[in-house]
Structure 1
Amino acid sequence: MLPPTERLPQARELIEMDRYFVVHAPRQTGKTTMLRTLASELTAEGDIAALMFSCEETKVAGDDFTAAESILLGSIREAAERSGWPEELMPPDSWPQSPPGTRVRTALSEWCRRCPRRVVLLLDEIDALQGNSMVSILSQLRAGHNARHEGYPFPASVVLCGLRDLRDYKVASGGEPGRSNPASPFNIVAESLRLGDFTADEIAELYDQHTQETGQEFTKDALERVFELTQGQPWLVNALAFETILQIGTTATITIGQVEEAKERLIRKRATHLDALVARLRELRVERVIEPILAGTWPDIDTSFDDDVSYVHDLGLIRGTRELEIANPIYREVLLRVLGHRTERFVQADPRSFVLPDGRFDMPRLLEEFVVFWREHGEVLIRQEGYHEAACQIILMAFLHRLVNGGGQLDREYAAGTKRLDVLVRWPFTDSEGGRHLQREAMELKVWRAGENDPMPDGLAQLDRYLDRLTLTTGSLVIFDRRPEAPPWKERGGFDQATTPSGRQVTVLRV
């Protein structure tokens, strides 16, 4: 394990400055471990009594802030009892009596009055507080914080840790994120820190710890592929290692092929972490951000869109808040697989029938079969697809996944505003003499929408650049016609040959 507190050195600095601040990051990125370690280190140094506790149980209280107060104070006491602290650092045996809506402030003040050290609180899972309960607890923290300069005993520093930034707690509690109000309980924090992902060097350091303990090494290509697939997302980094070492049963040097196998197993299993992300896809504010990324279009921007982007970024689904792009290749694949699950059930073709006698994959036949499938099911599937603007991309990717992923792999590239989706089919096969080869087939997806010009010229240029990057000599351009004047469904599916700007011959399919 990497030293947790080194991942967020600013946290210690802010605590030493007696600041109240937020630490936020997607789930299972190491927030809780970091907080627990930080609290332990601070307490061991002798000047601070730092207590980390979870607010998770307050979720059942909902808007009942009186119940939330009782649960929260109970969580503080239980955490202190588990800490092994000496008696003089412990909170009072019984909290002082106080009216509802003031009990947390009064209790913390009494504890700080008795404690010989500065008290620091680290509230994990702050997201669990809901509505009026969140407003009440934060209001009490703010009231105590603001009274400290008058000699009022209160925690020197408070860290609110959760999935979201505080501005989103404000939205969840009925506030307006863009409106400034000096009396708002949401103005309690001086800083908002985001726990970042691992760098490539940190992944190498983490995996090297396994090597030092067991002697089992990772090839350089394997380490690079882990970073490429995960972009440093901590849960994925650890999950890939677990799948490779323990589940697959690898004992020799771990190669890039075993990392790929681990990735496939991880996606097929749909572990809890991935399922939690998938569950968010049907939230309207998530769909508003993710749909244009899948469709390659520019999003409809209004006054709330920036907050939606920040929310989706805090969930860990996108890489940043400026250029809208899915956070990592594993998430890219998971999102399309999940959204295309309904379509896959309509695909009746046998994947084995697309394997040629020499072991290669029959890509021309796959495109021909897709035409038949599109004519028969496309209109119905588009109407059923919740992500309507990205329906064509989702449906074709589901078709490809159903027929390719049994023996090959799909790499997908897409982002908002690109007006395309790039797909690379990788198909390993063995020839008649036992030689091992990798067949690669590139495809570009474009959508012809109402009021737009024919996307074929742009598509050929974009496909040309994609093929150049892959060092391939040919590929396929698939153009979906979504215009009202598009040909009838039964007449769609024309094939042509075209030449890219650099002179490559490619197949063009219009559906």
Structure 2
Amino acid sequence: MLPPTQRLPQARVLIDMDRYFVLHAPRQTGKTTTLRTLASELTAEGDTAALLFSCERAKTAGDDYPAAESLLLDALREAAERTGWPKKLLPPDPWPQVTPGSRFGSALSEWCRRSPRRVVLFLDEIDALQGNSLISILSQLRDGHNARHERHPFPASVALCGMRDLRDYKITSGGDPGRSNPASPFNIVAKSLRLGDFTADQIGELYDQHTQATGQEFTKDAIDRVFELTQGQPWLVNALAHEITIKMGATEAITAGHVDDAKERLIRQRATHLDALVARLHEPRVKRVMEPVVAGSFPDVDVTFSDDLSYVRDLGLIKQKPPLEVANPIYREVILRVLGAPSEQYVMVNPRSFVQPDGRFDLARLLEEFVVFWREHGEVLIQQEGYHEAACQIILMAFLHRLVNGGGHLDREYAAGTKRLDVLIRWPYTGPEGERLMQREAMELKVWRAGKDDPLPEGLAQLDRYLDRLSLSTGVLVIFDRRPEASPWNERGDFEQATTPSGRQVTVLRG
């Protein structure tokens, strides 16, 4: 484990200044561990009683704010008793008996009045509070903060810890996200901090602890590959290493090949973290952001889009800064696999029948079989697809995944506004001398939409750049016609040869 407080130095600065703040990050990135360690360090210094407790159990209270207060105060007391603090530092027992709706704030005031140390409070899983319960608790924190002085003590510093940023809390509690709202519980917050992902150096530092403990080395290529696949997402970084060292039982030096195998295993297993993430794909506010990302189109920017965008960033699904794209290659692959799963059930051909006698993959036959599949099922699948704007891309990716996944790999690249989806098929095989070789086939997917010009010229130029980056001499451009005047379904699937601006000969499939 990396030293948690080094990942969030700003928190200590704000606490020393007696500030209230928000700490947010996607699930399983280390928020709880960081705050628990920080609380222990602050308490050990001797002048602070710092306590972390979870709001999770109050989720069942819903709008019942008296019940939420009782559940939170029980959780707070239990967390304090688990610390092993001397009795003089513990909260009062019983709590003051006051009117529901003010019990939480009054309890904190009484605790601070009795405590010989300044009290610092970390409310973990604050997202669990809903509706009126959230408004009540945060309003009491605001009132206590604004009235605090020597005769009316209150926690010196409070951190609200969860997935959501300050903006989304304002919306949830009825505040205006676009301006400072005097009636909002959030006008006391000094700053909103985000716990960041690991850097490549931090991944190396983390894995080096394993090497120091066991002697098993992670090669530089392995560390670079982990960073490339995860972009430093902490759960993924740890899960890949656990998969390799424990579940796969690797005993030799760990290479990039081990990392790729572990990535495939994680995705197939659909670990809880990944399942929880993709379960949100059909939430309306998530779909409004993710559908144009998958389709490669420009999102409709209306008054709600920036709020939706902030929410999806807080979930960790997309990168924190432009361009608008999925946060890392593992999420990128999982998203398309999940969205394409219903279409994949329609693919009946045998994947092994596409392996040629020399071990290479028969891409030409795959394209021919896709034309048959598209003519038979395309219209129905497009109508059924929830991500309607990206339906063509999702269906082709489902077809490719069904046929390639048995022995090869699919690398996908897509982002909002690119007007394309790039795909690289990697197929390992054995050469005539027994050497291990890798077949690589590149494809680019584009959609011809109503009122637009034929995307062939633009697609050839884009495919040219993609092939140049991959150092490949040829590729495939697939153009899906979504115009009302498109050919009947039973006539779609024409092949033609075309030349890219740099002179490459490529295959064009019009579907």
Q: Provide the aligned C-alpha RMSD in A.
A: 0.8
| Distance in 2 separating the partners of 1:221 and 1:179 | 47
The superposition leaves residues 96-153 of structure 1 with CA deviations (integer Å, 9 ceiling, x where unpaired) of 1110110011110000000011000000000000000000000000000000147411
| Other-structure match for 2:203 | 203
* Shift in alpha-carbon separation, 1:83–1:150, aligned structure 2, 3 A: closer
CA apart distance, 1:47: 1.0
Q: Does 1:491 align with 2:491?
A: yes
CA distance in 1, matches of 2:133, 2:19: 23
Q: 1:39–1:52: 8 Å Cα contact kept in structure 2?
A: yes
Correspondence 1:190 to 2:203: no
> 1:434 Cα deviation (Å)?
1.3
SS of alignment partner, residue 51 of structure 1: strand
Match of 2:221 in 1: 221
Match of 2:13 in 1: 13
Distance 1:21 1:371 in 2: 56
Q: How does 1:46-85 map to 2 (within 5 A)?
A: 46-85=46-85
- Residue 187 of structure 1 aligns to a residue whose secondary structure is coil
Q: Report what 1:145 is aligned to.
A: 145
Kindly provide the CA deviation profile for residues 213-237 of structure 1, in whole angstroms up to 9, marking residues without a partner as x.
0000011111100000000000000
Residue number in structure 2 paired with 1:263: 263
Matched, 1:42 2:51: no
Contact (CA 8 Å) 1:310, 1:321: kept in 2 or not? no
**2:175–2:181 contact (8 Å) kept in structure 1:** no
- Spell out, residue by residue over 1:296-340, the C-alpha distance to the aligned partner (whole angstroms, 9 max, x if none): 000001111001000000000001253211000000000000000
Question: Percent of pairs identical after alignment?
Answer: 78
- Cα deviation, 1:157-187, whole Å, max 9, x if unaligned, reads 0000001012212222333322432132122
Assess if the C-alpha contact under 8 Å between 2:412 and 2:424 holds in 1.
yes
* 8 A Cα contact 1:53 1:124, kept in partner: yes
How far the C-alpha of 1:437 sits from its partner, in A, is 0.5
- The equivalences for 1:75-224 within 5 A come to 75-149=75-149, 151-224=151-224
Moved more, 409-418 or 423-432: 423-432
Equivalence for 1:297: 297
Report 1:375-386 matches (<5 A).
Answer: 375-386=375-386
Q: Distance in 1 between matches of 2:378 and 2:252?
A: 47
Work out whether residues 175 and 184 of structure 2, in 8 Å CA contact, stay in contact via their aligned partners in 1: no
SS at match of 1:63: coil
The answer (yes or no) to whether the contact 1:29–1:197 under 8 Å persists in 2 is yes
1:118 counterpart letter in structure 2: R
Q: Flag structure 1 segments of 5+ consecutive residues without an equivalent.
A: none
Q: TM-score, normalised by structure 2?
A: 0.99
Counterpart CA distance in 1 for 2:96 and 2:113 is: 12
Contact 2:48–2:117, Cα closer than 8 Å, also in 1: yes
Is residue 288 of structure 2 the alignment partner of residue 284 of structure 1? no
Counterpart Cα distance in 1 of 2:454 and 2:162: 47
**What residue identity is the alignment partner of 1:370?**
F
d(CA) in 2 for partners of 1:7, 1:452: 48
Aligned-partner SS, 2:393:
helix
Question: 1:54 deviation in Å?
Answer: 0.2
Report if the CA contact (8 A) 1:22-1:193 is conserved: yes
Contact 2:5–2:37 (Cα < 8 Å) also in 1: yes
Give the Cα–Cα distance (whole angstroms) in 2 for the partners of residues 260 and 173 of structure 1: 44
Alignment of 1:3 onto 2:3? yes
- 2:325 corresponds to: 325
**2:170–2:184 contact (8 Å) kept in structure 1:** no
Per the alignment, residue 238 of structure 1 pairs with: 238
| Structure 2 counterpart of 1:394 | 394
Q: Does structure 2 conserve the Cα–Cα contact (< 8 Å) formed by 1:309 and 1:321? A: no
**1:25–1:314: 8 Å Cα contact kept in structure 2?**
yes
One-letter amino acid matched to 1:102: S
- Number of residues of Structure 1 aligned to a counterpart in Structure 2: 511
* Deviations, residues 383-414 of structure 1 (Å, cap 9, x unaligned): 00000000011000000000001000000000
Q: Secondary structure at the match of 2:303?
A: coil
- Could you tell me how far apart the structure 1 residues matched to 2:320 and 2:358 are? 44
- Offset at residue 30 of structure 1 (A): 0.4
Question: Which amino acid letter does the alignment assign opposite residue 68 of structure 1?
Answer: A
1:443-462 alignment runs, 5 A limit: 443-462=443-462
The letter of the residue matching 2:471 is T
Instruction: Summarize deviations over 1:281-310 as a string: whole Å, max 9, x none.
Output: 010000000000000000001111001000
What does residue 373 of structure 2 align with?
Answer: 373
Q: Does the Cα contact within 8 Å between 1:313 and 1:321 map onto a contact in 2?
A: no
SS in 2 for 1:185: coil
TM normalised by structure 1 equals 0.99
Partner residue in 2 for 1:250: 250
Cα offsets for 1:175-222 (capped at 9, x unmatched): 332243213212231100000000000000000000000000011111
Cα deviation, 1:65-93, whole Å, max 9, x if unaligned, reads 00000001001100000001011111112
1:400-455, CA deviations, whole angstroms, 9 ceiling, x for partnerless residues? 00000100000000000000000000000012431210000000000000000000
Write the distance in 2 (CA, Å) between the matches of 1:344 and 1:432. Answer: 34
2:478 aligns to what?
478
For the 8 Å contact 1:52–1:122, the answer to whether it is kept is yes
Q: Which amino acid aligns with 2:296?
A: G
8 A contact 2:412–2:423 mirrored in 1 = yes
* Structure 2 residues not aligned, in runs of 5+: none
Contact 1:65 1:132 in 2 (8 A): yes
Counterparts of residues 283-362 of structure 1 (less than 5 Å): 283-362=283-362
Contact 1:170 1:177 in 2 (8 A): yes
Please say if residues 347 and 402 of structure 2, whose CA atoms lie closer than 8 Å, have aligned partners that are also in contact.
yes
- 1:11-39 deviation per Cα after TM superposition (whole angstroms, max 9, x unaligned): 00000000000000000000000010000
| SS in structure 2 at match of 1:427 | strand
Q: 2:407: which partner in 1?
A: 407
